[in-house]
């Protein structure tokens, strides 16, 4: 308790307002959005989605000025860091959020689903993700994780009177809360064995000892299990297909991209800063998770008949590819980090794009069954071409983005120059072939078969969906052609310590 008494002569730590500007901008707009509903009631509803997209575009401004400035900034004794890596991830979260707002605009308005609250919660979830990119401290990571998860539980349950949506939210909530409780228990053990919540200090304390104590091993396992739920890695993926199917489709897109990426960002912060010296414990854990996720995810995806469930299982497999570089991070930290970041950004673009097309097609067919995609080319050639790009990119066919992402992963695995890396690389290669089968099956149905009942009426695609498909398709192709590589090859994490 003496420490608490000593803390009474408290002095506010210096605050770098520029570094915190992205979070503060998002917070201010989120508050404005909520107050608009209080002040204007029904009249403000229509403007909600416009204000939400403005908020996200405005948040990009400080991110760009921070990137132009180029200095690494640290605050609060190293608990909050702005560096190259965190800016890339922040920009990705904000842009992914922008695409999700584009996807939501018509869906939420036409379904008459509490528009204002929807966008308010979406913005707070994105705020948690943006904060997560800068978090270098166990408490900050925990608060950011809950800030992004709690609104997401509500969004998954958004269609209140729909039993499937209830069930989706219930499963997501219980799994999420259980995972964060287990993760917290792991964090308490890590805190106990290092005496600090700062990741940089934890690294120093844990690396100093020779063999890891059982408390440290247990702590690392629990923390990893907690995040494995978040990124839906096998065997902690069971919530994902049900939640994806039952939740409103824009929310599914948001969960499968932004929420998964946030889990990865948290995992990378902890692994690359806090556990850099304990690769002897973390690497085997990641190896097993990665190999199991990609194999099981792909095998179950093969026999899905609903395209959303198929994408959920393909998401499990993709999480496996993204975990793979973490299995060799001790040997090649820079390459491994670059590979995961590249994969996350490209995955966000191609998966959001696939969901945008699913939503557009569902406007006509009112279903997400793969059999309803037969003959799509005959009445919606534009959507067919876009869907083919996204699916083949997910499968990893050159010259699309997904190919480049897989290339970076395998490159990191081979660079590690040891047997476990090479074996995992073979796993990635074999799984890519399996995955091609179920992605190509949809392609074949769209291009080669006849439309059911010969119904060739056009699909009415609103402007916002066209914009979403356009943005994601351009990003997917640009990465594949190597037009945007630059910073992604030399990201590094600043391990700031307050001393």
Return d(Cα 274, Cα 89) in angstroms, integer: 19
- Which residues, other chains included, contact 414 with Cβ-Cβ below 8 Å and sequence gap of 6+? 421, 422, 425
Q: Does 160 bind other proteins (CB under 8 A)?
A: yes
- CB of residue 185 vs other proteins: minimum separation in angstroms? 5
* Rounded Cα distance, 320 and 297, in Å: 8
Q: How far is the CB of 166 from other proteins (least distance, A)?
A: 5
Q: Does 161 sit near other proteins (CB under 8 A)?
A: yes
Note whether 263 binds other proteins by CB under 8 A: no
Q: Does 157 bind other proteins (CB under 8 A)?
A: yes
How many CA atoms lie within 13 Å of 183's alpha carbon, on the beta-carbon side?
24
249 close to 308: Cβ distance less than 8 angstroms: yes
Q: Which of 23, 37, 83, 242 binds other proteins (CB under 8 A)?
A: 242
In the stretch 284-313, what mask flags binding to other proteins with x, by CB under 8 A? ----------------x---x----x----
Query: What is the smallest separation between the CB atom of 149 and other proteins, expressed in angstroms?
Result: 8
Interatomic CA distance for residues 204 and 201, integer angstroms: 5
Pick out residues in 114-153 that bind other proteins (CB under 8 A): 138-139, 142-143, 146, 150, 153
- Buried-exposed string 60-83: b where 16+ CB fall within 10 A, e elsewhere: bebbeebeeeeebbbbbbbbbbbb
Q: Give yes or no for residue 204 binding other proteins (CB under 8 A).
A: no
Q: Write each residue from 1 to 30 as x if it is in contact with other proteins (CB under 8 A), else as -, in one continuous string.
A: xxxx--x-----------------------
Angstrom distance (rounded) from CA 476 to CA 267: 25
Strand partners, 158: none
- For the chain, helix (H) and strand (E) counts, in that order, are 21, 2
Can you read off the two tokens belonging to residue 1? 């308790």
Q: Which is nearer to other proteins, 16 or 162 (CB)?
A: 162
| Binding residues for other proteins, total number by CB under 8 A | 48
Least Å distance, CB 66 to other proteins, is 27
Residues from 171 through 190 that contact other proteins (CB under 8 A): 171, 173-174, 177-178, 180-182, 184-185, 187-189
Cβ(90)–Cβ(63) below 8 Å: yes
Binding residue for other proteins, selected from 22, 97, 128, 169, defined by CB under 8 A: 169
Angle between helices 401-415 and 463-480 (to 10 degrees): 40
Q: Is the Cβ–Cβ distance between 397 and 403 less than 8 Å?
A: yes
User: Site map for other proteins, 448-467, x if CB under 8 A?
Assistant: --------------------
Which residue number, 115 or 245, has a Cβ lying nearer to other proteins?
245
Write down the residue that tokens 């997401």 correspond to.
152
Are 145 and 267 spatial neighbours (Cβ–Cβ below 8 Å)? Answer: no
237 binds other proteins (CB under 8 A): no
Alpha helix ranges (H) inside 302-380: 307-323, 333-365, 376-379
Between 153 and 272, CB nearer to other proteins: 153
Binding site for other proteins (CB under 8 A): 1-4, 7, 138-139, 142-143, 146, 150, 153-154, 157, 160-161, 163-164, 166-171, 173-174, 177-178, 180-182, 184-185, 187-189, 191-192, 195-197, 241-242, 245-246, 300, 304, 309
């Amino acid at each position: 308790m003496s420490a608490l008494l000593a803390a009474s002569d408290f002095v506010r730590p210096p605050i770098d307002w520029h570094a915190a500007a992205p979070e503060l901008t998002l917070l201010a707009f989120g508050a404005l959005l909520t107050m608009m509903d209080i002040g204007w009631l029904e009249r403000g509803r229509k403007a909600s989605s416009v204000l939400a997209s403005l908020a996200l575009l405005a948040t990009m401004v400080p991110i760009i000025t921070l990137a132009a400035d180029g200095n690494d900034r640290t605050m609060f004794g190293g608990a909050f860091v702005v560096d190259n890596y965190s800016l890339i991830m922040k920009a990705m979260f904000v842009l992914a959020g922008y695409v999700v707002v584009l996807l939501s605009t018509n869906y939420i308005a036409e379904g008459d689903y509490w528009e204002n609250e929807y966008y308010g919660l979406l913005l707070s979830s994105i705020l948690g993700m943006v904060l997560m990119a800068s978090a270098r401290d166990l408490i900050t990571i925990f608060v950011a994780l809950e800030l992004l998860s709690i609104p997401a539980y509500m969004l998954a349950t958004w269609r209140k009177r729909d039993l499937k949506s209830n069930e989706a939210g219930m499963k997501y909530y219980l799994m999420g809360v259980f995972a964060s409780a287990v993760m917290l228990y792991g964090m308490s053990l890590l805190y106990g064995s290092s005496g600090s919540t700062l990741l940089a200090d934890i690294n120093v304390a844990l690396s100093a000892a020779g063999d890891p104590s059982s408390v440290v091993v247990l702590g690392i396992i629990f923390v990893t299990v907690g995040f494995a739920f978040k990124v839906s890695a096998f065997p902690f993926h069971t919530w994902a297909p049900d939640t994806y199917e039952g939740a409103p489709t824009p929310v599914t897109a948001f969960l499968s991209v932004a929420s998964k990426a946030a889990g990865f960002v948290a995992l990378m912060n902890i692994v690359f800063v806090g556990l850099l010296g304990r690769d002897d414990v973390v690497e085997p854990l990641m190896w097993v998770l990665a190999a199991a996720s990609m194999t099981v995810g792909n095998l179950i995806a093969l026999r899905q008949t609903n395209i959303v469930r198929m994408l959920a299982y393909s998401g499990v497999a993709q999480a496996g590819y993204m975990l793979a570089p973490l299995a060799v991070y001790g040997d090649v930290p820079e390459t491994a980090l670059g590979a995961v970041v590249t994969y996350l950004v490209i995955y966000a673009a191609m998966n959001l794009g696939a969901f945008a097309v699913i939503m557009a097609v569902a406007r006509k067919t009112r279903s997400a069954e793969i059999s309803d995609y037969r003959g799509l080319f005959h009445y919606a050639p534009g959507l067919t071409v876009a869907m083919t790009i996204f699916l083949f990119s997910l499968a990893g066919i050159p010259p699309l983005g997904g190919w480049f992402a897989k290339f970076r992963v395998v490159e990191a695995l081979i660079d590690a120059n040891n047997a476990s890396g090479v074996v995992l690389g073979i796993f990635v290669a074999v799984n890519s072939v399996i995955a091609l089968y179920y992605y190509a099956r949809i392609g074949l149905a769209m291009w080669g078969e006849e439309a059911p009942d010969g119904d060739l009426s056009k699909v009415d695609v609103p402007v916002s969906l066209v914009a979403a498909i356009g943005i994601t398709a351009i990003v997917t192709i640009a990465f594949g052609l190597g037009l945007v590589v630059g910073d992604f090859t030399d990201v590094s994490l600043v391990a700031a310590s307050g001393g």
